[in-house]
């Protein structure tokens, strides 16, 4: 009985002659990755653009809309956690103190930053958005959308805290004379508007310094 040895051969790239082919066959599939948006190369979808649009009704490929939605969500989280700490301190006896309020706002800003940092820069505060536009770190045409998203997010976050504590607020302040302080920045008695303004300016400046230092390492899409 005769055994026949079969060898596979192929043609070199320069067509100069045969050579032995790798005995392990493989098929290389074509690259079908479709980026979510042209400016963010780190996110890919392995599907056809139009097919994915049909399957996922809540996915948007509009870059600016995605940035505004990210700002909205980041602001909702920041206001919800921040006002939640204030409400706990004001409405529930022994439920917190100034330290818990400070920690609550710190966690609130951190969560908002984690959510929107890689998409919109997690600016959250409108004055940060305007300042970035003034210094050319983002285009002016994006400012209105950012500000609208931030304002809407702030109202939604405040509404969530109000609904959560509505019964307690009505019991503690039936005439609605004092609990409005939970939802607005209002100076205490004896504090002038000048002092209140001066208090806000340095705090926002300190926040902005940290913001710029962080964003200098990971530049968001909004600044490209």
- 8 A C-beta contact, residue 85 and residue 104: yes
pLDDT tens digit at each of 224 positions of the chain: 555 554 444 444 444 555 555 554 444 444 444 444 444 444 444 444 555 545 566 677 788 899 999 999 999 999 999 888 888 888 877 667 778 888 888 888 888 888 888 888 888 888 888 988 888 888 999 999 999 999 999 999 999 999 988 888 888 777 777 777 788 777 777 888 888 888 888 888 887 787 777 665 555 555 54
Q: How far apart are CA 78 and CA 24, in angstroms?
A: 55
> What residues does each domain of the chain span?
63-183, 185-218
- 8 A C-beta contact, residue 21 and residue 10: yes
Q: How far apart are CA 29 and CA 7, in angstroms?
A: 26
User: Which CATH code, of 1.20.1080.10, 3.30.70.3270, 3.30.70.20, 1.10.3720.10, is assigned to 63-183?
Assistant: 1.20.1080.10
């Amino acid at each position: 009985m005769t055994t026949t040895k079969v060898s596979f051969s192929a043609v070199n790239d320069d067509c100069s002659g045969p050579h032995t082919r790798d005995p392990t066959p493989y098929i290389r599939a074509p690259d079908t990755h479709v980026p979510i948006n042209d400016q963010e190369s780190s996110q890919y979808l392995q599907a056809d653009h139009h097919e994915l649009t049909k399957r996922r009704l809540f996915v948007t490929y509009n870059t600016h809309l995605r940035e505004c939605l990210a700002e909205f969500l980041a602001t909702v989280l920041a206001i919800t956690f921040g006002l939640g700490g204030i409400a706990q301190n004001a409405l529930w006896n022994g439920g917190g103190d100034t330290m818990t309020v400070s920690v609550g706002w710190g966690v609130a800003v951190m969560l908002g930053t984690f959510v929107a940092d890689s998409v919109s820069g997690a600016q959250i505060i409108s004055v940060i958005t305007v300042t970035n536009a003034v210094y050319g770190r983002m285009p002016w045409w994006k400012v209105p959308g950012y500000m609208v998203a931030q304002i809407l997010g702030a109202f939604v976050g405040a509404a969530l805290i109000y609904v959560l504590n509505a019964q307690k607020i009505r019991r503690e302040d039936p005439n609605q004379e004092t609990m409005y302080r939970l939802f607005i920045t209002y100076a205490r008695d004896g504090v002038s508007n000048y002092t209140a303004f001066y208090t806000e300016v340095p705090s926002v400046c300190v926040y902005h310094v940290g913001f710029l230092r962080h964003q200098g390492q990971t530049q968001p899409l909004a600044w490209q």
